[in-house]
Structure 1
Amino acid sequence: MTPSGRLSAAIDVIADIESRRRPAAEALKDWGSGHRFAGSGDRAAIAGLVYDALRRRASSAHVMGATTGRAILLGMLKVERGLDVAEIDRLTDGSRFAPAPLEEDERRALASASLADVPAHVAGDYPEWLDGHLARAFGEERAEEAAALARRAPLDLRVNALAAERGAILKEFADYNPAATPWSPAGVRILVPAGAKSPAIQSEPAFIKGMVEVQDEGSQIAALMTGAKPGETVIDLCAGGGGKTLALAAMMAGQGRIVATDLDKRRLAPIHDRLARAGVAHVDVRTPRQAGDVLSDMESGADLVVIDSPCTGTGTWRRNPDAKWRMRPGALEQRLKEQVEVLDRAAGLVRPGGRLAYITCSVLAEENADQVAAFVERHPEFVVTPPAALADSLGASADAFLAAARIGEHGIQMTPRRTGTDGFFVAMMRRS
């Protein structure tokens, strides 16, 4: 396909997403099924255009003065990819498979494009109804923080310490120009240029042998901050596909006991194959049942309970840019209820002197500090661990990390702008 043909396809996909309010991955898959002639490079380039347009949807629409798929794509080419009017003209020449030529009002909009003095939700590319929530979290810096959440994310890998060392993995993946992550001692980072195909990591021998896992550095840091130790009894209460479970297992060096479960058995399904591939044998996976609590025998029995809590996912907008536009206030309300339920359930599983780690991939105070404060008020037997102490697990990079992250009374907030990671929040409570 020509660059113009790819642009036309991206315009069609965005129009589909906007009209049907469907996930981008679903719309792209349907487009690919209906256009078998498109090669893998074409599909990757089209996906890149679509996701960049979704990342910059508000600012692109503002520049063009319209919210159509065409307007959003044309605006994105200007504000995100930095193309000038002449370059956009060449892509929209009206030839076969190309978009229709620029109209005069489009040409004027592109030529005079400016984001100076725009509202925060336009500069930060997020839904206007979230402005108050982000103002609570970041104040006057909310536009800059949200803009960082609108940028393309790198591909981060976690080296499985049970099977490999980071130095060896950096050599193994040399073709991808990898680098060590700045904070996590187990992280490897690969930058993927706009429009390029993502590396086929799952086909690499090192991945097949369980030597690496795909995991954002922020998620790696969150696992490290739990302080899981060899010999402990640990419950991963919202284990999902097992990303944190695998990280905890590596920290515990195969010694001790991990019980992994999740209220949604569908989310838990992939964990079995991942544990086998990583060579982890000391994890007891408990699939929820309709009758009875699968953790009834664990009452007050865990040294550490880890809650990778259900949340709005606002901290992962770099990777899921369409999610922010589909998010509604009701979703936040539902997540807050679920967080209260899982925190209260976890409280009874922690032994006296044990720890409860609360993690979200959200940047909203309502899901983070507010939940921790409300929890310790409901459960006065729990005391918040000073957040700065959690960084000790990062070793030599601890001081630099603390200088970069947002440190609050109840926990640590990571953001792309400050730490170069997804927007993870971590808090620790100890039962007295």
Structure 2
Amino acid sequence: MRLGGRLAAAIDVLDDISHKNRPAADALKDWGKAHRFAGAGDRAAIGNIVYDALRRRRSAAWLMDDEASRSIAIGALCLEQGMDGATINAAVEGDQFAPPALSQRELDALATRRLVDAPDADRADCPDLFLEEVQSGFADDWVDELAALAARPPLDLRVNTLAASRDKVLARLQREDAVATALASEGIRIPPVEGSGRHPNVQADQAFEDGWFEVQDEGSQIVAELAGAAPGMQVLDYCAGAGGKTLALSAMMENTGQIFAHDAEKHRLSPIHERLRRAGARNVQAAVGEASLEPLRGMMDLVLVDAPCTGSGTWRRRPDAKWRLNERQLAIRTREQFEILRKACNYVRPGGRMVYITCSVFPEENQRQIEAFLAENPEFAANDSESLWQERFGETTHKVRLDANGIVLSPARTGTDGFFLSVMTRAGG
């Protein structure tokens, strides 16, 4: 397919997403099934336009002076792939599968508008509904932080030290321009794709099947390291889900001690068994439902609460979720988080730690949750954030946001997805 056909397909997919309020991945999958002639390269290029348009929806619409799917797709080509109106018109000319050429009005908008002149919320590509939250969380840096959250993401991997070393995996992935991550001790980064390219399918590599690495954002790796799991510990991963952080903890504990990987729903834990097998993690026991944890009350050295959240910190990877999120969903999540903290704290031994993590950048899900929890549970106290960071990552505190109750990672400062972490210690012991 030529650019014109790819652009037309992206516009169709964006219309589908908009009209049916459905996830982008589902819409792209259905388009691919209905157009089997499109090769992998075509599907990747179409996906890039769609995801770029969703990440940059407000800035692309401002640039084009229009919010239609056609406009944000064209705007995304200009913003992310450096095209201009003349280039796009040359590409669609003579292509029967292409959308109509740019009108004079569209060409004039592209010629006269510069993103630097756009309103802050448009440059930040942030829904109006959550402006107050992000401004509260990022203060004067909120535009830069949200703009970074609208950029193309890298592909990050975590080396499984139970099976391989970082040098070994870097050598294996040398052809993919893989480099060591800036902060995570066992992380590897493959840069964001450019133009119509795509990330390598690293999970098809034999090294992945052999358990050498897992796909995991560097931010997720960093908060797992800050949790402080060590060999011989008794650990409860209270919201383990598919087990990404469980696997990281297992490697940090060198396959010793015991990790109880818990989730309230059995189906969410299902993927963990194959992942544990592949990683060679032998110190993990799956546990479903609260009743299975009763013998662990007051016994755990570390309780990890990777809480369900809005996922606002992952908007660069799931940009469609940014525009589907509403206040009701945020309210539901915050209630769930507080109830989970109330339950999970019962398993921490005196002198033990509870670690609260979200992949959100909203203070409502982060600092305010910790404030409310500590007010209700005076036997817990938040660990000093600066000391916690420096013990693991040295004099790099400028890369994160620190306050009395936690640490915030972000795309602009840390170069990762958005994450929040708070470590709390229970009195006694």
Shorter-chain-normalised TM-score: which range?
over 0.9
* 1:348 aligned partner, one-letter code: N
Q: Which residue of 2 aligns with 1:410?
A: 405
* 1:118 aligned partner, one-letter code: A
Q: Which residue of 2 aligns with 1:243?
A: 244
Residue 80 (structure 1) shift: 2.6
Structure 2 matches for 1:204-353, cutoff 5 A? 204-288=205-289, 293-353=291-351
* 2:238 aligned partner, one-letter code: L
Secondary structure of 1:347's aligned partner: helix
Residue 324 (structure 1) shift: 0.2
* 2:308 aligned partner, one-letter code: P
Secondary structure of 2:387's aligned partner: helix
Q: Which residue of 2 aligns with 1:377?
A: 375
2:166·2:186 contact (CA, 8 Å) conserved in 1? yes
Distance 2:143 2:78 in 1: 19
Q: Which runs of 5+ in 1 are unaligned?
A: none
Distance 2:294 2:119 in 1: 51
Secondary structure of 1:97's aligned partner: coil
Q: Which residue of 1 aligns with 2:154?
A: 154
Q: Which residue of 1 aligns with 2:420?
A: 425
2:162·2:251 contact (CA, 8 Å) conserved in 1? yes
Q: Does 2:198 align with 1:197?
A: yes
Q: Which residue of 1 aligns with 2:395?
A: 399
* 1:431 aligned partner, one-letter code: R
Structure 2 matches for 1:181-192, cutoff 5 A? 181-192=181-192
Residue 392 (structure 1) shift: 4.2
* 2:128 aligned partner, one-letter code: E
Q: Which residue of 2 aligns with 1:365?
A: 363
1:152-190 deviation digits (Å, cap 9, x = unpaired): 110010001111110111101111011000101100111
Residue 149 (structure 1) shift: 0.2
Distance 2:269 2:161 in 1: 23
Secondary structure of 1:111's aligned partner: helix
1:101-134 deviation digits (Å, cap 9, x = unpaired): 1111111111112223433221100111111111
Structure 2 matches for 1:42-61, cutoff 5 A? 42-61=42-61
Distance 1:39 1:95 in 2: 18
Distance 1:192 1:377 in 2: 42
1:94·1:100 contact (CA, 8 Å) conserved in 2? no
1:53-90 deviation digits (Å, cap 9, x = unpaired): 11100111112222211011111122232212211211
Distance 1:138 1:255 in 2: 39
* 2:387 aligned partner, one-letter code: A
Pair 341,413 (structure 1): closer, same or farther in 2 beyond 3 Å: same
Distance 2:370 2:274 in 1: 33
1:176·1:190 contact (CA, 8 Å) conserved in 2? yes
Secondary structure of 1:294's aligned partner: helix
* 2:386 aligned partner, one-letter code: A
Secondary structure of 1:158's aligned partner: strand
Secondary structure of 1:306's aligned partner: strand
* 1:46 aligned partner, one-letter code: I
Distance 2:119 2:337 in 1: 31
Distance 1:78 1:253 in 2: 48
Residue 389 (structure 1) shift: 2.2
2:299·2:349 contact (CA, 8 Å) conserved in 1? yes
RMSD of the alignment, in Å? Answer: 1.2
* 1:108 aligned partner, one-letter code: D
Distance 1:324 1:97 in 2: 30
Residue 286 (structure 1) shift: 1.0
1:94·1:101 contact (CA, 8 Å) conserved in 2? no
Distance 2:390 2:282 in 1: 28
Structure 2 matches for 1:26-175, cutoff 5 A? 26-93=26-93, 95-175=95-175
2:154·2:193 contact (CA, 8 Å) conserved in 1? no
1:200-239 deviation digits (Å, cap 9, x = unpaired): 1111111001110000110000000010111110000010
* 1:248 aligned partner, one-letter code: L
Residue 267 (structure 1) shift: 1.9
Distance 1:142 1:168 in 2: 39
Distance 2:288 2:344 in 1: 17
2:350·2:426 contact (CA, 8 Å) conserved in 1? yes
Residue 398 (structure 1) shift: 2.2
Q: Which moved more, 1:111-120 or 1:18-27?
A: 111-120
Residue 266 (structure 1) shift: 2.3
Distance 1:277 1:242 in 2: 12
Secondary structure of 1:296's aligned partner: helix
Distance 1:117 1:10 in 2: 27
Percent identity among equivalent residues?
A: 48
* 1:362 aligned partner, one-letter code: S
Secondary structure of 1:267's aligned partner: helix
* 1:48 aligned partner, one-letter code: N
Distance 1:138 1:405 in 2: 11
Secondary structure of 1:66's aligned partner: coil
* 1:257 aligned partner, one-letter code: Q
1:227·1:393 contact (CA, 8 Å) conserved in 2? no
Distance 2:110 2:93 in 1: 16
Residue 393 (structure 1) shift: 5.1
2:145·2:410 contact (CA, 8 Å) conserved in 1? yes
1:315-370 deviation digits (Å, cap 9, x = unpaired): 11111111101111111101100100110001111000000000110111111111
